[in-house]
Amino acid sequence: MISIAWKSICNRWPTALLAVLAISMSVALILTVEKIRRDARSSFTQTVSGTDLIIGARSGAIQLLLYSVFRIGNATNNISWDSVEDIRKRSAVDWLIPISLGDSHAGFRVLGTSLDYFAHYRFGDKQSLQLADGQIFNDVFDAVIGSEVAVQRNYRVGDDIVVAHGTGKVALVEHDRQPFKVSGILQPTGTPVDRAIHVSLQGIEAMHVDWQNGASVKGEGTDADTIRSMELKPKAVTALLVGLKSRAAVFREQRAINTYREEPLLAILPGVALQELWNLVSVAEMALMIVSICVVVAGLVNLISVLLAGLNERRREMAVLRSAGAKPAHIFMLLCIESTVLTLGGIIAGVLLHYLLTSLGSVFLKQEFGLSINLTLPGTTDLKILFFIGCAGILAGTLPALQAYRKSLADGLSQRL
């Protein structure tokens, strides 16, 4: 029966190919969506690790998380440097990373920070930042850039970078009097770090030496050596990443920061805020899954329609098989085998198409959205999806098989040509 089914499929290869194509596209879509959803969530939740508290001006937890970790949006206010020093002196604080935002270069955010950023910042499974080339900045006008910045702008160590005021892709006002020099390039992390330009806090102050109220002062042009000799102490920063000596003290320290009397501050737990943010975007995640399921259903319906449409054309074939000694059960089995072969062919082609889409689309997703998609073997969830689609495809073939089972020998032999 398997040989007969295969020959029958080969005899009707155009319609069989359409059925396989529909199923393969359905399989590729649902596997790709599931892969993106899973890797996006993993990348999302592992953007920052090892940080116990994120501190910023009092606003909202999600807003603070977005601008401090994902570089999205802006802070409602800054944290004064006196408060930074006060928090650093707290007995429970092990390390503190100041972050200053507000400028950009070609759409990439410029992040002012200290050397503690490279020593204590962790992502993924507590992985540290590593240099692919160059060194950490040791001059006021040095900059360490992320891997995506280097790739998209074709920057190398020693190249100059002119930072623009504001965060837009179009530079309206540039700090062209004090350009920065690329001193190092970070290895890819799959996080917003790849799309950031890191400079020192002193560098942030240096490029604003001749600026007042967000604009450069005409006639002023302090040379770089004079700027280097200045104190360049920051007046304020945007946010703080804090690591504690003991995780047991996290709630006590959070409460102390939230009730800080010197200025209104907010301290959040990164893990809790990340989960809240993911719950907000889970609606889009669910919508993608619903669309994928609908496409799978459409592919199975197409399989049924192909088998049913070909059934009327094959009534004479069925009658000949019956006259040659085939029983109704044999006809039923023949149609079931055909639907099984088409379904399995669609699944195999869909898996191959999924890997093709993943390999080609991973570069685009990484460049445009900073989303790292890795090629991996099908996981437990993927195998369950493929098993479900396989069973559904086999069951879909039973409908035309039952119809063929009920056809009589006389009905087939009496068909007009």
Helices 315-323 & 270-313 angle (0-180, nearest 10): 70
Residue 219's pLDDT band (cuts 50, 70, 90): very low
Instruction: List the Cα angle 251/254/259 in 5-degree steps.
Output: 125
The answer to whether residues 39 and 66 belong to one domain is no
For residue 72 the two structure tokens come to 């999205």
Give Cβ neighbours of residue 313 (< 8 Å, ≥ 6 apart): none
Residue 408 lies in a domain: yes
Query: What's the confidence (pLDDT) of residue 319?
Result: 64
Which residue, 227, 242, 268, sits at the end of a domain?
268
The answer to whether residues 84 and 223 belong to one domain is yes
The answer to whether residues 240 and 289 belong to one domain is no
For residue 301 the two structure tokens come to 């319906």
Question: Phi/psi of residue 196, each to 5°?
Answer: -115, 150
Residue 273 lies in a domain: no
Residue 172 lies in a domain: yes
Neighbours of 198 (CB within 10 A): 27
Pairing status of strand 180-186 against strand 160-161: antiparallel
Pairing status of strand 196-200 against strand 108-113: parallel
The answer to whether residues 93 and 234 belong to one domain is yes
Report the C-alpha gap between 366 and 386 in whole angstroms.
27
Query: What's the confidence (pLDDT) of residue 373?
Result: 73
Instruction: Out of 91-105, 310-324, 348-362, pick the least confident.
Output: 310-324
CA dihedral 176, 182, 187, 192 (to 10 degrees): -20
The answer to whether residues 173 and 107 belong to one domain is yes
- Residue bearing the bigger pLDDT, 153 or 403: 153
Residue 78 lies in a domain: yes
Neighbours of 384 (CB within 10 A): 11
Query: What's the confidence (pLDDT) of residue 103?
Result: 87
Neighbours of 243 (CB within 10 A): 18
Report the C-alpha gap between 192 and 177 in whole angstroms.
28
The candidate with the shortest Cα–Cα distance to 161, out of 101, 105, 222, is: 105
The answer to whether residues 33 and 59 belong to one domain is no
Report the C-alpha gap between 408 and 412 in whole angstroms.
7
Report the C-alpha gap between 414 and 417 in whole angstroms.
9
The answer to whether residues 36 and 95 belong to one domain is no
Q: Give the pLDDT confidence of 386-402 residue by residue, as tens digits.
A: 888 888 877 877 777 67
Give Cβ neighbours of residue 376 (< 8 Å, ≥ 6 apart): none
Residue 134 lies in a domain: yes
Residue 408's pLDDT band (cuts 50, 70, 90): very low
Report the chain's mean pLDDT, rounded to a whole number: 82
Report the C-alpha gap between 215 and 199 in whole angstroms.
20
Which residue, 206, 233, 268, sits at the end of a domain?
268
Residue 243 lies in a domain: yes
Residue 276 lies in a domain: no
Residue 377's pLDDT band (cuts 50, 70, 90): confident
Q: Give the pLDDT confidence of 177-211 residue by residue, as tens digits.
A: 778 999 999 998 888 899 999 999 999 888 877 66
Residues 273 and 102 sit within 8 Å (Cβ to Cβ): no
The candidate with the shortest Cα–Cα distance to 308, out of 382, 377, 220, 396, is: 396
Query: What's the confidence (pLDDT) of residue 314?
Result: 63
Report the C-alpha gap between 170 and 78 in whole angstroms.
25
pLDDT mean over 70-79:
89
The answer to whether residues 161 and 251 belong to one domain is yes
pLDDT mean over 370-383:
77
State the total domains in the chain. Answer: 2
Helices 2-11 & 13-45 angle (0-180, nearest 10): 100
The answer to whether residues 285 and 405 belong to one domain is yes
Distances, alpha carbon 73 to alpha carbons 63, 166, 336, in Å: 8, 11, 56
Q: Give the pLDDT confidence of 241-274 residue by residue, as tens digits.
A: 999 999 899 999 999 999 999 999 999 999 888 8
The candidate with the shortest Cα–Cα distance to 52, out of 249, 196, 233, 236, is: 249
- Classify residue 153 as exposed, middle or buried by CB count within 10 Å of its CB (0-12, 13-18, 19+): middle
Residue 82 lies in a domain: yes
The answer to whether residues 112 and 166 belong to one domain is yes
pTM for the structure as a whole:
0.72
Query: What's the confidence (pLDDT) of residue 159?
Result: 94
For residue 241 the two structure tokens come to 């990443």
- Residue bearing the bigger pLDDT, 182 or 288: 182
Q: Give the pLDDT confidence of 327-340 residue by residue, as tens digits.
A: 666 677 777 787 78
Query: What's the confidence (pLDDT) of residue 417?
Result: 44
Q: Give the pLDDT confidence of 149-171 residue by residue, as tens digits.
A: 998 899 999 999 988 876 655 55
Residue 182 sits in which domain range?
A: 53-268
Residues 364 and 41 sit within 8 Å (Cβ to Cβ): no
Query: What's the confidence (pLDDT) of residue 1?
Result: 62
Q: Give the pLDDT confidence of 76-101 residue by residue, as tens digits.
A: 899 999 999 999 999 999 999 999 99
Residue 326's pLDDT band (cuts 50, 70, 90): low
The answer to whether residues 286 and 387 belong to one domain is yes
DSSP run (H or E) holding 292: helix 270-313
Query: What's the confidence (pLDDT) of residue 317?
Result: 66
Q: What phi-psi label fits residue 156: left (phi over 0), alpha (psi between -120 and 50 degrees) or beta? A: beta
At position 176, the amino acid (one-letter code) is: D
The answer to whether residues 188 and 246 belong to one domain is yes
Residue 53's pLDDT band (cuts 50, 70, 90): very high
Helices vs. strands in the chain: H and E counts, helices first: 15, 17
Which residue, 212, 247, 268, sits at the end of a domain?
268
